[in-house]
Amino acid sequence: MDYPRLTICFLFILSLITPQPIFAADVRCSDIGNYTTNSTYAANLKTLLSSISNSSNLDSDGFFNASIGQNPDKVYALALCKGDQEITSCRSCLNDSSQAITKECPNQKEAFLYKDECILRFSSRNILSSVDDGYFAMFYNVNNATNPAQFTELMEILLLNLREQAASGVVKKYAADVVKYTNLSKIYGLAQCTPDISKLDCGKCLDVAMNDITNHASGKVGAAITSLTTTQPKFAYGGCSNIGNYTTNSTYAANLKTLLSSISNSSDLNSDGFFNASIGKNPDQVYALALCRGDQKITDCRSCLNDSSQAITKVCPNQKEAILSKDTCMLRFSSRNILGSMDDGYVVMGNHVDNDTDPVQFTDVLRNLLFDLRERAASGGVRKYAADAVNFPLRANYQSRNDSDDGFSSRSLWASNKPFFHKRFSCVRLNY
Protein backbone atom coordinates (compact mmCIF):
# COMPACT_ATOMS: atom_id res chain seq x y z
CA MET A 1 0.00 0.00 0.00
CA ASP A 2 1.12 3.58 -0.63
CA TYR A 3 0.05 6.73 1.15
CA PRO A 4 -1.67 9.73 -0.45
CA ARG A 5 -2.87 13.06 1.06
CA LEU A 6 -6.15 15.00 1.14
CA THR A 7 -7.57 18.21 2.57
CA ILE A 8 -10.65 17.66 4.74
CA CYS A 9 -11.73 19.82 7.64
CA PHE A 10 -14.75 20.32 9.85
CA LEU A 11 -16.11 22.73 12.44
CA PHE A 12 -18.60 22.11 15.23
CA ILE A 13 -20.32 24.78 17.34
CA LEU A 14 -23.01 24.28 20.01
CA SER A 15 -24.61 26.20 22.86
CA LEU A 16 -26.21 24.19 25.65
CA ILE A 17 -26.24 23.97 29.42
CA THR A 18 -24.34 20.68 29.01
CA PRO A 19 -22.54 19.62 25.83
CA GLN A 20 -24.64 17.38 23.59
CA PRO A 21 -23.66 16.19 20.11
CA ILE A 22 -25.36 17.08 16.88
CA PHE A 23 -26.29 13.60 15.71
CA ALA A 24 -25.70 13.65 11.99
CA ALA A 25 -24.46 11.55 9.14
CA ASP A 26 -23.86 12.57 5.56
CA VAL A 27 -23.26 10.25 2.61
CA ARG A 28 -22.02 11.38 -0.80
CA CYS A 29 -21.91 9.07 -3.83
CA SER A 30 -19.87 10.35 -6.76
CA ASP A 31 -20.74 9.63 -10.38
CA ILE A 32 -17.19 9.06 -11.66
CA GLY A 33 -17.90 5.39 -12.48
CA ASN A 34 -19.21 2.00 -11.37
CA TYR A 35 -17.65 -1.39 -10.66
CA THR A 36 -19.16 -4.86 -10.99
CA THR A 37 -19.82 -6.97 -7.93
CA ASN A 38 -17.24 -9.71 -8.51
CA SER A 39 -14.56 -7.54 -10.12
CA THR A 40 -10.96 -6.97 -9.02
CA TYR A 41 -11.93 -3.45 -7.97
CA ALA A 42 -14.66 -4.83 -5.70
CA ALA A 43 -12.17 -7.24 -4.09
CA ASN A 44 -9.60 -4.47 -3.57
CA LEU A 45 -12.23 -2.17 -2.06
CA LYS A 46 -13.44 -4.88 0.32
CA THR A 47 -9.86 -5.62 1.44
CA LEU A 48 -9.01 -1.96 1.99
CA LEU A 49 -12.22 -1.08 3.85
CA SER A 50 -11.95 -4.14 6.10
CA SER A 51 -8.43 -3.11 7.15
CA ILE A 52 -9.24 0.42 8.27
CA SER A 53 -10.92 -0.01 11.66
CA ASN A 54 -8.12 -2.30 12.91
CA SER A 55 -5.22 -0.29 11.50
CA SER A 56 -2.47 0.66 13.95
CA ASN A 57 -2.17 3.99 12.10
CA LEU A 58 -5.24 5.21 13.97
CA ASP A 59 -3.52 4.95 17.36
CA SER A 60 -1.18 7.93 16.95
CA ASP A 61 -3.23 10.62 15.22
CA GLY A 62 -6.61 9.04 14.43
CA PHE A 63 -5.85 9.14 10.71
CA PHE A 64 -5.59 6.44 8.02
CA ASN A 65 -4.76 6.77 4.34
CA ALA A 66 -3.68 4.07 1.92
CA SER A 67 -4.22 2.54 -1.51
CA ILE A 68 -4.26 -1.00 -2.84
CA GLY A 69 -4.04 -2.65 -6.27
CA GLN A 70 -2.93 -1.49 -9.70
CA ASN A 71 -4.72 0.71 -12.24
CA PRO A 72 -7.46 0.48 -13.42
CA ASP A 73 -8.50 -1.44 -10.27
CA LYS A 74 -6.57 0.65 -7.76
CA VAL A 75 -8.54 1.89 -4.73
CA TYR A 76 -7.61 4.83 -2.48
CA ALA A 77 -9.10 5.32 0.98
CA LEU A 78 -8.75 7.61 3.97
CA ALA A 79 -10.32 7.78 7.42
CA LEU A 80 -10.26 10.39 10.17
CA CYS A 81 -11.35 10.10 13.79
CA LYS A 82 -13.03 13.14 15.31
CA GLY A 83 -10.48 14.59 17.72
CA ASP A 84 -12.57 14.31 20.89
CA GLN A 85 -13.38 10.62 20.39
CA GLU A 86 -11.80 7.67 22.17
CA ILE A 87 -9.99 5.39 19.73
CA THR A 88 -12.37 2.52 20.58
CA SER A 89 -15.40 4.65 19.65
CA CYS A 90 -13.73 5.71 16.41
CA ARG A 91 -12.84 2.13 15.47
CA SER A 92 -16.47 1.15 16.05
CA CYS A 93 -17.63 4.11 13.92
CA LEU A 94 -15.25 3.17 11.09
CA ASN A 95 -16.27 -0.48 11.26
CA ASP A 96 -19.95 0.51 10.87
CA SER A 97 -19.09 3.08 8.19
CA SER A 98 -17.06 0.57 6.16
CA GLN A 99 -20.18 -1.58 5.88
CA ALA A 100 -22.65 1.28 5.42
CA ILE A 101 -20.79 3.19 2.72
CA THR A 102 -21.09 0.40 0.13
CA LYS A 103 -24.76 -0.06 1.05
CA GLU A 104 -25.44 3.64 0.52
CA CYS A 105 -23.38 3.86 -2.69
CA PRO A 106 -23.58 0.34 -4.17
CA ASN A 107 -21.10 -0.44 -6.95
CA GLN A 108 -19.90 3.17 -7.14
CA LYS A 109 -16.19 3.88 -7.44
CA GLU A 110 -16.14 6.90 -5.15
CA ALA A 111 -18.02 7.69 -1.95
CA PHE A 112 -17.74 9.72 1.25
CA LEU A 113 -19.41 9.13 4.63
CA TYR A 114 -19.35 11.57 7.55
CA LYS A 115 -20.58 10.66 11.03
CA ASP A 116 -20.24 12.31 14.42
CA GLU A 117 -17.25 10.19 15.41
CA CYS A 118 -15.44 9.63 12.10
CA ILE A 119 -15.03 10.33 8.38
CA LEU A 120 -14.47 7.70 5.66
CA ARG A 121 -13.79 8.14 1.95
CA PHE A 122 -12.68 5.93 -0.94
CA SER A 123 -12.12 6.44 -4.68
CA SER A 124 -10.72 4.87 -7.84
CA ARG A 125 -8.70 8.03 -8.48
CA ASN A 126 -6.00 9.62 -6.40
CA ILE A 127 -8.35 11.85 -4.44
CA LEU A 128 -5.40 13.64 -2.91
CA SER A 129 -3.50 14.81 -5.96
CA SER A 130 -5.91 17.32 -7.51
CA VAL A 131 -8.21 20.13 -6.41
CA ASP A 132 -11.86 20.12 -7.52
CA ASP A 133 -14.66 22.58 -6.94
CA GLY A 134 -16.11 21.19 -3.75
CA TYR A 135 -19.22 20.47 -1.82
CA PHE A 136 -19.82 20.94 1.86
CA ALA A 137 -22.23 19.32 4.28
CA MET A 138 -23.83 21.48 6.96
CA PHE A 139 -26.10 20.55 9.86
CA TYR A 140 -27.62 23.15 12.15
CA ASN A 141 -30.30 23.60 14.78
CA VAL A 142 -33.22 25.74 13.59
CA ASN A 143 -33.53 27.42 17.01
CA ASN A 144 -32.01 30.88 17.43
CA ALA A 145 -29.88 31.95 20.38
CA THR A 146 -31.60 34.22 22.91
CA ASN A 147 -29.16 37.01 22.03
CA PRO A 148 -28.04 36.33 18.44
CA ALA A 149 -25.64 39.28 18.19
CA GLN A 150 -23.79 38.35 21.39
CA PHE A 151 -23.80 34.67 20.46
CA THR A 152 -22.39 35.35 16.97
CA GLU A 153 -19.65 37.60 18.36
CA LEU A 154 -18.56 35.00 20.93
CA MET A 155 -18.81 32.21 18.34
CA GLU A 156 -16.60 34.04 15.84
CA ILE A 157 -13.93 34.75 18.46
CA LEU A 158 -14.00 31.11 19.57
CA LEU A 159 -13.76 29.78 16.00
CA LEU A 160 -10.87 32.08 15.12
CA ASN A 161 -8.94 30.78 18.14
CA LEU A 162 -9.79 27.17 17.27
CA ARG A 163 -8.73 27.73 13.66
CA GLU A 164 -5.28 28.90 14.72
CA GLN A 165 -4.82 26.10 17.28
CA ALA A 166 -5.99 23.35 14.90
CA ALA A 167 -3.92 24.57 11.92
CA SER A 168 -0.80 24.75 14.13
CA GLY A 169 -1.18 21.18 15.39
CA VAL A 170 1.63 18.70 14.84
CA VAL A 171 0.42 15.16 15.62
CA LYS A 172 -3.27 16.12 15.41
CA LYS A 173 -4.60 19.20 13.66
CA TYR A 174 -7.40 19.45 16.21
CA ALA A 175 -8.63 21.96 18.79
CA ALA A 176 -11.65 22.21 21.10
CA ASP A 177 -12.64 24.84 23.64
CA VAL A 178 -15.57 26.40 25.49
CA VAL A 179 -16.61 29.98 26.31
CA LYS A 180 -19.28 31.30 28.67
CA TYR A 181 -22.43 32.50 26.92
CA THR A 182 -24.91 33.04 29.77
CA ASN A 183 -24.95 32.11 33.45
CA LEU A 184 -26.57 28.81 32.52
CA SER A 185 -25.04 27.97 29.15
CA LYS A 186 -21.74 27.84 27.30
CA ILE A 187 -20.64 27.71 23.68
CA TYR A 188 -18.68 24.58 22.73
CA GLY A 189 -16.50 24.56 19.63
CA LEU A 190 -14.32 22.07 17.76
CA ALA A 191 -12.09 22.42 14.68
CA GLN A 192 -10.10 19.71 12.90
CA CYS A 193 -8.16 18.99 9.70
CA THR A 194 -6.50 15.84 8.41
CA PRO A 195 -3.03 15.77 10.05
CA ASP A 196 -1.03 15.32 6.84
CA ILE A 197 -1.65 18.79 5.38
CA SER A 198 0.17 22.07 5.93
CA LYS A 199 -0.82 24.79 8.38
CA LEU A 200 -1.68 27.02 5.41
CA ASP A 201 -3.99 24.46 3.75
CA CYS A 202 -5.71 23.63 7.04
CA GLY A 203 -6.26 27.32 7.74
CA LYS A 204 -7.73 27.89 4.29
CA CYS A 205 -10.12 24.95 4.66
CA LEU A 206 -11.27 26.15 8.09
CA ASP A 207 -11.67 29.71 6.79
CA VAL A 208 -14.15 28.43 4.20
CA ALA A 209 -16.02 26.42 6.85
CA MET A 210 -16.14 29.42 9.23
CA ASN A 211 -17.50 31.62 6.47
CA ASP A 212 -20.22 29.08 5.65
CA ILE A 213 -21.31 28.78 9.29
CA THR A 214 -21.41 32.57 9.63
CA ASN A 215 -23.43 32.97 6.41
CA HIS A 216 -25.87 30.09 6.86
CA ALA A 217 -26.14 29.42 10.61
CA SER A 218 -25.39 32.74 12.30
CA GLY A 219 -27.16 32.94 15.66
CA LYS A 220 -28.24 29.27 15.58
CA VAL A 221 -27.58 27.37 18.80
CA GLY A 222 -25.89 24.45 17.04
CA ALA A 223 -24.09 23.82 13.75
CA ALA A 224 -21.60 21.40 12.22
CA ILE A 225 -19.93 21.64 8.82
CA THR A 226 -17.63 19.36 6.84
CA SER A 227 -15.70 20.65 3.81
CA LEU A 228 -14.24 18.28 1.23
CA THR A 229 -13.55 17.98 -2.49
CA THR A 230 -15.74 15.73 -4.61
CA THR A 231 -17.50 15.67 -7.98
CA GLN A 232 -21.25 16.15 -8.40
CA PRO A 233 -22.44 13.80 -5.64
CA LYS A 234 -25.80 12.23 -5.15
CA PHE A 235 -27.37 13.74 -2.07
CA ALA A 236 -27.96 11.60 1.00
CA TYR A 237 -28.44 12.63 4.61
CA GLY A 238 -28.75 10.45 7.68
CA GLY A 239 -29.68 11.88 11.06
CA CYS A 240 -29.45 9.82 14.26
CA SER A 241 -31.53 11.08 17.19
CA ASN A 242 -30.46 10.78 20.81
CA ILE A 243 -33.86 9.83 22.29
CA GLY A 244 -32.66 6.34 23.26
CA ASN A 245 -31.03 3.05 22.25
CA TYR A 246 -32.23 -0.53 21.83
CA THR A 247 -30.32 -3.79 22.28
CA THR A 248 -29.60 -6.03 19.31
CA ASN A 249 -31.83 -8.98 20.21
CA SER A 250 -34.64 -7.00 21.85
CA THR A 251 -38.33 -6.89 20.93
CA TYR A 252 -37.83 -3.35 19.61
CA ALA A 253 -35.08 -4.59 17.28
CA ALA A 254 -37.35 -7.35 15.96
CA ASN A 255 -40.25 -4.92 15.42
CA LEU A 256 -37.97 -2.46 13.64
CA LYS A 257 -36.60 -5.16 11.33
CA THR A 258 -40.12 -6.33 10.46
CA LEU A 259 -41.40 -2.83 9.76
CA LEU A 260 -38.41 -1.73 7.67
CA SER A 261 -38.48 -4.90 5.59
CA SER A 262 -42.14 -4.30 4.68
CA ILE A 263 -41.79 -0.75 3.38
CA SER A 264 -40.30 -1.16 -0.10
CA ASN A 265 -42.92 -3.77 -1.10
CA SER A 266 -45.91 -1.98 0.43
CA SER A 267 -48.90 -1.38 -1.85
CA ASP A 268 -49.39 1.99 -0.09
CA LEU A 269 -46.60 3.43 -2.23
CA ASN A 270 -48.54 2.85 -5.47
CA SER A 271 -51.09 5.65 -5.01
CA ASP A 272 -49.15 8.58 -3.57
CA GLY A 273 -45.60 7.36 -2.96
CA PHE A 274 -46.11 7.57 0.79
CA PHE A 275 -45.98 4.96 3.58
CA ASN A 276 -46.70 5.31 7.28
CA ALA A 277 -47.32 2.57 9.81
CA SER A 278 -46.46 1.28 13.26
CA ILE A 279 -45.90 -2.14 14.80
CA GLY A 280 -45.80 -3.54 18.33
CA LYS A 281 -46.86 -2.17 21.70
CA ASN A 282 -45.21 0.30 24.04
CA PRO A 283 -42.40 0.41 25.09
CA ASP A 284 -41.38 -1.57 21.98
CA GLN A 285 -43.67 0.12 19.46
CA VAL A 286 -41.95 1.36 16.29
CA TYR A 287 -43.32 4.03 13.95
CA ALA A 288 -42.07 4.50 10.39
CA LEU A 289 -42.77 6.67 7.38
CA ALA A 290 -41.38 6.77 3.85
CA LEU A 291 -41.78 9.24 0.99
CA CYS A 292 -40.93 8.89 -2.69
CA ARG A 293 -39.75 11.97 -4.55
CA GLY A 294 -42.65 13.06 -6.70
CA ASP A 295 -40.93 12.79 -10.08
CA GLN A 296 -39.57 9.28 -9.49
CA LYS A 297 -40.87 6.03 -10.94
CA ILE A 298 -42.29 3.74 -8.28
CA THR A 299 -39.74 1.04 -9.19
CA ASP A 300 -36.85 3.45 -8.59
CA CYS A 301 -38.35 4.58 -5.30
CA ARG A 302 -38.84 0.99 -4.12
CA SER A 303 -35.19 0.30 -4.91
CA CYS A 304 -34.17 3.43 -2.98
CA LEU A 305 -36.28 2.44 0.03
CA ASN A 306 -34.96 -1.12 -0.04
CA ASP A 307 -31.37 0.19 0.09
CA SER A 308 -32.29 2.78 2.73
CA SER A 309 -34.00 0.20 4.95
CA GLN A 310 -30.72 -1.72 5.12
CA ALA A 311 -28.46 1.32 5.40
CA ILE A 312 -30.33 3.32 8.05
CA THR A 313 -29.53 0.86 10.84
CA LYS A 314 -25.89 0.81 9.73
CA VAL A 315 -25.64 4.59 9.81
CA CYS A 316 -27.48 4.79 13.17
CA PRO A 317 -26.85 1.41 14.86
CA ASN A 318 -29.07 0.54 17.85
CA GLN A 319 -30.68 3.99 17.95
CA LYS A 320 -34.43 4.32 18.45
CA GLU A 321 -34.91 7.16 15.99
CA ALA A 322 -33.26 7.96 12.67
CA ILE A 323 -33.91 9.56 9.31
CA LEU A 324 -32.30 8.92 5.92
CA SER A 325 -32.98 11.27 3.03
CA LYS A 326 -31.67 10.45 -0.45
CA ASP A 327 -32.22 11.86 -3.92
CA THR A 328 -35.16 9.61 -4.69
CA CYS A 329 -36.71 8.82 -1.29
CA MET A 330 -36.86 9.59 2.43
CA LEU A 331 -37.14 7.08 5.28
CA ARG A 332 -37.66 7.66 8.99
CA PHE A 333 -38.43 5.54 12.06
CA SER A 334 -38.89 6.26 15.76
CA SER A 335 -40.02 4.84 19.09
CA ARG A 336 -42.35 7.86 19.45
CA ASN A 337 -45.35 8.76 17.31
CA ILE A 338 -43.92 10.81 14.44
CA LEU A 339 -46.97 10.45 12.19
CA GLY A 340 -48.93 13.59 11.39
CA SER A 341 -46.93 15.83 13.72
CA MET A 342 -44.44 18.66 13.27
CA ASP A 343 -41.34 19.12 15.42
CA ASP A 344 -38.66 21.77 15.61
CA GLY A 345 -35.74 20.29 13.75
CA TYR A 346 -32.33 20.37 12.19
CA VAL A 347 -31.68 21.43 8.63
CA VAL A 348 -29.09 19.82 6.41
CA MET A 349 -27.90 21.81 3.44
CA GLY A 350 -25.52 20.97 0.64
CA ASN A 351 -24.75 23.25 -2.26
CA HIS A 352 -22.15 23.61 -4.96
CA VAL A 353 -19.57 26.25 -4.09
CA ASP A 354 -19.74 27.89 -7.54
CA ASN A 355 -21.79 31.08 -7.92
CA ASP A 356 -23.98 31.73 -10.90
CA THR A 357 -22.76 34.29 -13.45
CA ASP A 358 -25.68 36.57 -12.51
CA PRO A 359 -26.49 35.74 -8.86
CA VAL A 360 -28.98 38.62 -8.41
CA GLN A 361 -31.11 37.60 -11.36
CA PHE A 362 -30.73 33.91 -10.50
CA THR A 363 -31.93 34.51 -6.92
CA ASP A 364 -34.88 36.61 -8.09
CA VAL A 365 -36.02 34.00 -10.61
CA LEU A 366 -35.44 31.19 -8.10
CA ARG A 367 -37.47 32.95 -5.38
CA ASN A 368 -40.48 33.46 -7.66
CA LEU A 369 -40.34 29.86 -8.85
CA LEU A 370 -40.13 28.42 -5.34
CA PHE A 371 -42.99 30.57 -4.02
CA ASP A 372 -45.16 29.24 -6.84
CA LEU A 373 -44.09 25.64 -6.18
CA ARG A 374 -44.70 26.05 -2.44
CA GLU A 375 -48.32 27.08 -3.05
CA ARG A 376 -48.99 24.31 -5.54
CA ALA A 377 -47.35 21.59 -3.43
CA ALA A 378 -49.15 22.62 -0.22
CA SER A 379 -52.48 22.65 -2.08
CA GLY A 380 -51.93 19.21 -3.60
CA GLY A 381 -54.47 16.42 -3.28
CA VAL A 382 -53.18 12.85 -3.40
CA ARG A 383 -49.57 14.03 -3.73
CA LYS A 384 -48.35 17.28 -2.23
CA TYR A 385 -45.83 17.72 -5.03
CA ALA A 386 -45.03 20.30 -7.71
CA ALA A 387 -42.27 20.72 -10.30
CA ASP A 388 -41.72 23.37 -12.95
CA ALA A 389 -39.10 25.11 -15.08
CA VAL A 390 -38.58 28.75 -16.01
CA ASN A 391 -36.36 30.43 -18.59
CA PHE A 392 -33.04 30.99 -16.85
CA PRO A 393 -32.80 28.03 -17.32
CA LEU A 394 -33.86 26.81 -13.91
CA ARG A 395 -35.62 23.66 -12.82
CA ALA A 396 -36.95 22.83 -9.39
CA ASN A 397 -38.97 20.38 -7.31
CA TYR A 398 -40.83 21.06 -4.08
CA GLN A 399 -42.45 18.32 -2.07
CA SER A 400 -44.10 18.05 1.32
CA ARG A 401 -44.93 14.98 3.34
CA ASN A 402 -48.68 14.54 2.97
CA ASP A 403 -49.75 13.33 6.45
CA SER A 404 -49.92 16.80 8.03
CA ASP A 405 -52.54 19.47 7.36
CA ASP A 406 -50.04 22.28 7.07
CA GLY A 407 -47.98 20.32 4.55
CA PHE A 408 -44.64 21.34 6.04
CA SER A 409 -43.78 18.82 8.75
CA SER A 410 -41.23 17.31 6.39
CA ARG A 411 -40.25 18.88 3.13
CA SER A 412 -37.69 18.56 0.38
CA LEU A 413 -36.45 21.07 -2.14
CA TRP A 414 -34.36 20.56 -5.26
CA ALA A 415 -33.33 23.44 -7.52
CA SER A 416 -30.92 23.54 -10.43
CA ASN A 417 -30.11 25.40 -13.63
CA LYS A 418 -29.06 22.07 -15.19
CA PRO A 419 -31.31 19.14 -14.37
CA PHE A 420 -30.48 18.01 -11.68
CA PHE A 421 -26.89 17.88 -10.45
CA HIS A 422 -25.07 21.05 -11.46
CA LYS A 423 -25.03 24.32 -9.49
CA ARG A 424 -27.50 22.53 -7.31
CA PHE A 425 -29.03 23.36 -3.95
CA SER A 426 -30.67 20.76 -1.74
CA CYS A 427 -32.45 21.28 1.56
CA VAL A 428 -34.28 18.82 3.78
CA ARG A 429 -36.22 19.86 6.89
CA LEU A 430 -36.03 17.11 9.51
CA ASN A 431 -38.51 16.49 12.30
CA TYR A 432 -36.10 16.59 15.26
pLDDT at 344 over 90: no
8 A C-beta contact, residue 301 and residue 328: yes
Give the three-class secondary structure for 88.
helix
Among 200-209, 360-369, 382-391, which is the least confidently predicted range? Answer: 382-391
CATH superfamily of 245-334: Gnk2 domain, C-X8-C-X2-C motif (3.30.430.20)
Who wins on pLDDT, 366 or 394? 366
Q: Let me know if the fold of 1-232 is the same as that of 245-334.
A: yes
**pLDDT band for position 226 (50/70/90)?**
low
pLDDT at position 3 is: 36
Residue-wise pLDDT tens digits, 256-298 = 999 999 998 888 787 788 889 999 999 999 999 999 888 888 8
Residue-wise pLDDT tens digits, 56-103 = 888 778 888 889 999 999 999 989 898 888 889 899 999 999 999 998
Among 97-101, 337-341, 388-392, 411-415, which is the least confidently predicted range? Answer: 411-415
pLDDT at 355 over 60: no
Selecting from 3.30.70.260, 2.60.40.1480, 3.40.640.10, 3.30.430.20, what CATH number does the domain 1-232 have? 3.30.430.20
pLDDT at 206 over 50: yes
pLDDT at position 371 is: 86
Q: What percent of the chain has pLDDT over 70?
A: 70
Who wins on pLDDT, 33 or 134? 33
pLDDT at 12 over 50: yes
Across residues 334-347, what is the average pLDDT?
72
pLDDT mean across residues, the chain:
75
pLDDT at position 377 is: 85
Q: How many CA atoms lie within 13 A of 400 on its CB side?
A: 23
pLDDT at position 259 is: 95
**pLDDT band for position 406 (50/70/90)?**
very low
Across residues 133-157, what is the average pLDDT?
69
8 A C-beta contact, residue 213 and residue 11: yes
pLDDT at position 255 is: 97
Q: State the virtual CA torsion across 342, 347, 348, 351 in degrees, nearest 10.
A: 120
pLDDT at 141 over 70: no
0.75 exceeded by pTM: no
pLDDT at 132 over 70: no
Across residues 136-154, what is the average pLDDT?
70
Contacts 24+ apart (CB under 8 A), 209-213: 209/9, 209/10, 209/11, 209/136, 210/11, 210/156, 210/159, 210/160, 210/163, 212/136, 212/138, 213/11, 213/13, 213/138, 213/140, 213/155, 213/159
Ordered by start, the domain boundaries in the chain are 1-232, 245-334, 348-429
8 A C-beta contact, residue 28 and residue 112: yes
Who contacts 182 (Cβ-Cβ below 8 Å, separation ≥6)? Answer: 146
Across residues 335-354, what is the average pLDDT?
64
pLDDT at position 356 is: 57
Nearest to 303 by CA among 326, 281, 322: 326
Per-residue exposure over 154-188, b if at least 16 CB sit within 10 Å of its own CB, e if not: bbeebbeebbeebbebeebbbbbeeeebeeebbbb
Residue-wise pLDDT tens digits, 295-333 = 888 888 888 898 889 888 887 889 999 888 777 788 999
